[in-house]
Amino acid sequence: MRCYEFAKVGDGYRLELRTRPDPVPAADRVVVRVRATSLNYRDLIHLQNKAGRDVSGRIPLSDGAGEVVAVGSDVTVVRVGDRVTANFFTAWERGRFDMKYHASALGGPGADGMLAELVDLPASALVPIPEYLSFEEAACLPCAAVTAWSALMDRGRLQKGDTVLALGTGGVSIFALQLGVAADCPVVVTSSSDEKLERAAKLGAANGINYRTHPDWEKEVHRLTGKHGVDHVVEVGGGGTLTKSLASVAAGGHVALIGVLTGFGPPQDSLFPLVSKNATLSGIYVGSRENFVAMNEFLTAHQIRPVIDRAFAFAEATAAFAHLESGSHFGKIVVRLP
């Protein structure tokens, strides 16, 4: 089979196309023929070695979708021909997170990912693809969609009428917009592009804020919400935007800290607004298989389709990473396999 691997070059990595023997499943595992994969910012972090993690020789990408082509002797939960995705943390089936699950995160230091023609996975990690979704759409779900679901529905306990602030228009934020709209919640979206804000409005965003036009965008949030603030913030920026997110959240609200788009540094100012507002700050790192299944039920009920910015061929995987780095995308970036 063909696959891509991270190969060390200088201070970072590059993608190298390699050939490996076709996998044969152990008793409790399955082999999936991958039909599509998708990229997340985490994949760019690995490629550029921003977190200092050793991913040499690992197959990239946590997200992919395909069909089962072989099952181990003890496997009864799936059959050959089933359309499936895999949970981001293959060992996290349900319940509270445990640090040992990090070793099972696909496409990272502990486990190969999905940018391959065939992948060998634990049967217990597989999640059926909703019938109405294509392989390309399903490949967008494991990281970004489950992260947005965990932030708003699982940890945030989103209620009808709650206001949501989604930072940017990448994968997680667009899923948060779609989930919020489906739950009858007004969603405010930020972007540096008026064109992207117009696209967000077509998806149902109640308001958009251009953070270049309004560098103090937290003041716009307060104006738009009648000085109440938002009930939920989907915070994907990290330390560079957390201060403004804390200023934007309402009393008793919830900030879901997810991403590090502004880097791994600390917040720029005091965290006291979190205290004075009796607000909640949650660290979100994707979710369990149980979360994934619950999310799929919601997506199916509302017929929500992932927003795909662009799809690349398998031979164009390096170009897909470059497109992600450009920041010009709206929604998800997909790599199709033959």
Confidence of residue 264 (pLDDT cuts 50, 70, 90): low
| Sign of torsion over alpha carbons 71, 76, 82, 86 | negative
pLDDT in the model for residue 262: 60
Mean pLDDT computed over every residue of the chain: 96
Nearest to 144 by CA among 270, 37, 303: 37
Considering the chain, what percentage of its residues have pLDDT values greater than 90? 93
Would the pLDDT of 91 be above 80?
Answer: yes
**Which positions ≥6 away from 75 have C-beta within 8 Å?**
25, 27, 28, 29, 30, 123
**Residue spans per domain, the chain:** 2-142+287-336, 156-283
| Section 192-219 average pLDDT | 97
**Which positions ≥6 away from 191 have C-beta within 8 Å?**
168, 169, 197, 200, 208, 209, 210, 211
pLDDT in the model for residue 267: 73
Using CA atoms, how far residue 10 sits from 7, 14, 29, 46, 48, in Å, is 10, 9, 36, 13, 10
Would the pLDDT of 263 be above 80?
Answer: no
CATH number, domain 2-142+287-336: 3.90.180.10
CATH number, domain 156-283: 3.40.50.720
pLDDT tens digits for 17-41?
999 999 999 999 999 999 999 999 9
Would the pLDDT of 239 be above 90?
Answer: no
Assess contact for 284 and 155: CB atoms under 8 A.
Answer: yes
pLDDT tens digits for 121-154?
999 999 999 999 999 999 999 999 999 999 999 9
pLDDT tens digits for 68-80?
999 999 999 999 9
Confidence of residue 238 (pLDDT cuts 50, 70, 90): confident
CA 101, chain centre distance (Å)? 17
pLDDT in the model for residue 261: 59
pLDDT tens digits for 158-180?
999 999 999 999 999 999 999 99
Beta bridge partners of 233: 165, 255
pLDDT in the model for residue 237: 85
pLDDT in the model for residue 15: 98
Beta bridge partners of 14: 7
Would the pLDDT of 211 be above 80?
Answer: yes
| Section 1-15 average pLDDT | 97
| Section 97-125 average pLDDT | 98
pLDDT in the model for residue 116: 98
Nearest to 207 by CA among 286, 122, 222: 222
Would the pLDDT of 183 be above 70?
Answer: yes
Task: Give SS3 for 304.
Answer: coil
Residue 282, classified by CB atoms within 10 Å of its CB into exposed (0-12), middle (13-18) or buried (19+), is middle
DSSP string, 65-82: EEEEEEE-TT--S--TT-
User: What is the length of the chain?
Assistant: 338
Phi and psi (nearest 5°) for 21? Answer: -60, 145
pLDDT in the model for residue 105: 98
CA angle centred on 191, ends 259 and 298, rounded to 5°: 60
pTM: 0.95
